């Protein structure tokens, strides 16, 4: 079905009967009940049940809480569709009627959308199975957020226990006025590393700092010093983001604690830059602890994370064409690589091409109310992924199903 126009027409046919209400109910239920990485039991159970009802053969517990649904529908290509399921340790602040009911946990990255889209597409393609042939594999991945869910599924036999894919598709909710489908034919997401730092000071009474080595003060100087890595050591033409996402020290105002714990996240798009920044972090943390007179050197542990996500360029152009047919040429454009990271690419066996795109989700009223004249400025002023205010517009539910269905149909016979 290599004609974009044909795939788009069939997609509209198969999703014609989609009930937005049904998708909304599913989405709201998932949003209300977020589950952290590798704890997605309720989520996986409900999704697996719906897939089974639609005719899929479902294997649960792949990579701990992941699942795989297979719909063998005659000869033809094997297409994998993937959605990730885990939520984040964020305290929701949207005030939505369907806000999280779990204190301190929130679907703040849109994974609830991803799996709603995934189930919607799986059901639509199953219902219309007489229009295509081949094998559809639906992958419900756990623990995308730094948890290593994709690697866990692979380690659990994903590549051996299920039909080998000819192609893998995935998509991600993104900030930006709802109604756009950015495609990038190459590098689309960045490499990510987590770095744990433990500063060893010397604890003591808050009134006698002279008999201590204060790890709170040392940690603070480290955080300010780390700002110079990106500002002074990375060329402007290169991309790197170094975030200190956690700073934890101390139990009581009048006790100087014995240590401070920092958790850093690094995003890069070039291995040379990655090495340079990691070396700078080690140098700065060590130098600051020497400046502080710490009794022991700091512990610096790099947890190598997700690699670059690099779309197959011709596959991406093919899928982008179908999406243009569906939504108009204006709706599909190249946003360039983002600093976000994904373990999506790990799900593809070596050599198998994949494509990954964005679906913008910012409600029109939020977008228009955001201060700023330019696109960048507005983008900087709407709640983005991981924000406690992240609240996608529900108008994106049906289109996000259509993007997956049309991509699958492009490849299925």
Q: Which residues are annotated as a binding site for Mn(2+)?
A: 109, 111, 145, 172, 386
Query: Which residues within the stretch 371-400 sit at the binding site for a second copy (CB under 8 A)?
Result: 374, 376-377, 379-388
Q: Which stretch binds a second copy (CB under 8 A): 12-20, 120-128, 275-283, 392-400?
A: 275-283
Size of the residue set binding a second copy (CB under 8 A): 108
CA-CA-CA-CA dihedral for 174, 177, 178, 179, to nearest 10: -110
Give the HSE-up count for residue 176: Cα atoms under 13 Å, Cβ half-sphere.
16
253 touches a second copy by CB under 8 A: yes
Phi, psi of 271 (to 5 degrees): -60, -35
* Tokens describing residue 248: 């934890």
Q: Which is nearer to a second copy, 189 or 412 (CB)?
A: 189
Residues whose CB is less than 8 angstroms from the CB of residue 112 and which lie 6 or more positions away in sequence, other chains included: 27, 30, 31, 34, 87
Query: Which residues within the stretch 82-141 sit at the binding site for a second copy (CB under 8 A)?
Result: 88-90, 93, 104, 108-109
Please give the helix or strand (H or E) that residue 139 lies within, else none.
strand 134-141
> Left, alpha or beta for 104 (phi > 0: left; psi -120 to 50: alpha)?
left
59 touches a second copy by CB under 8 A: no
Burial of 270 (0-12, 13-18, 19+ CB in 10 A): middle
Q: Which stretch binds a second copy (CB under 8 A): 6-14, 23-31, 164-172, 281-289?
A: 281-289
301 touches a second copy by CB under 8 A: no
Nearest to 341 by CA among 257, 241, 260: 241
- How crowded is residue 363: how many other Cβ atoms within 10 Å of its Cβ? 17
Q: Which is nearer to a second copy, 168 or 379 (CB)?
A: 379
354 strand-pairing partners: 168
Q: Which is nearer to a second copy, 120 or 175 (CB)?
A: 175
* Tokens describing residue 117: 């889209």
Query: Which residues within the stretch 322-351 sit at the binding site for a second copy (CB under 8 A)?
Result: 336-341
The span from the CA of 175 to the CA of 360, in Å, is 5
Phi, psi of 17 (to 5 degrees): -85, 5
Q: Which is nearer to a second copy, 284 or 398 (CB)?
A: 284
270 touches a second copy by CB under 8 A: yes
Among 41, 221, 349, 352, binds a second copy (CB under 8 A): 221
Among 44, 85, 256, 322, binds a second copy (CB under 8 A): 256
240 touches a second copy by CB under 8 A: yes
Q: Which is nearer to a second copy, 101 or 227 (CB)?
A: 227
216 touches a second copy by CB under 8 A: yes
- Least separation in angstroms between residue 187's CB and a second copy is 11
Q: Which is nearer to a second copy, 131 or 286 (CB)?
A: 286
204 touches a second copy by CB under 8 A: yes
């Amino acid at each position: 079905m290599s004609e974009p126009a044909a795939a788009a027409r069939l997609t509209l046919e198969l999703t014609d009967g989609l009930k937005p209400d049904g998708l909304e109910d599913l989405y709201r239920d998932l949003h209300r009940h977020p589950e952290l990485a590798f704890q997605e039991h309720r989520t996986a159970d409900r999704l697996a049940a719906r897939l089974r009802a639609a005719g899929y053969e479902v294997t649960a517990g792949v990579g701990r809480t992941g699942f795989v649904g297979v719909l063998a529908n005659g000869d033809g290509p094997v297409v994998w569709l993937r959605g990730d399921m885990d939520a984040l340790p964020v305290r929701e602040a949207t005030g939505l009627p369907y806000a999280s009911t779990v204190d301190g946990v929130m679907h703040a990255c849109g994974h609830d959308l991803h799996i709603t889209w995934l189930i919607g597409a799986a059901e639509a393609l199953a219902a219309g199975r007489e229009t295509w042939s081949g094998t559809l594999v639906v992958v419900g991945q756990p623990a995308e957020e730094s948890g290593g869910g994709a690697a866990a599924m692979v380690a659990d036999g994903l590549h051996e226990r299920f039909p080998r894919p000819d192609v893998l598709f995935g998509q991600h909710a993104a900030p930006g006025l709802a109604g756009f489908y950015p495609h990038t034919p190459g590098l689309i997401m960045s490499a990510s590393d987590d770095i744990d730092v433990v500063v060893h000071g010397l604890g003591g009474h808050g009134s006698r700092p002279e008999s201590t080595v204060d790890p709170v003060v040392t940690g603070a100087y480290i955080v300010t010093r780390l700002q110079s890595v990106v500002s002074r050591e990375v060329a402007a033409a290169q991309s790197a983001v170094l975030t200190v996402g956690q700073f934890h020290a101390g139990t009581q105002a009048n006790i100087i604690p014995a240590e401070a714990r920092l958790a850093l996240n690094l995003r890069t798009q070039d291995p040379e830059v990655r090495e340079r920044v990691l070396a700078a972090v080690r140098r700065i943390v060590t130098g600051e602890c020497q400046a502080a007179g710490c009794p022991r050197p700091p512990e610096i542990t790099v947890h190598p994370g997700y690699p670059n996500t690099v779309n197959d360029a011709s596959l991406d152009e093919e899928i982008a064409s179908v999406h243009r047919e569906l939504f108009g040429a204006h709706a599909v454009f190249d946003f360039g690589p983002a600093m976000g990271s994904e373990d999506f690419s790990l799900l593809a066996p070596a050599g198998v091409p994949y494509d990954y795109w964005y679906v913008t989700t910012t409600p029109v009223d939020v977008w228009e109310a955001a201060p700023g004249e330019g696109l960048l400025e507005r983008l900087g002023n709407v709640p983005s992924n991981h924000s406690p205010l992240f609240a996608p517009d529900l108008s994106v539910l049906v289109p996000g199903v259509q993007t997956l269905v049309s991509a699958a149909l492009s490849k299925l016979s």
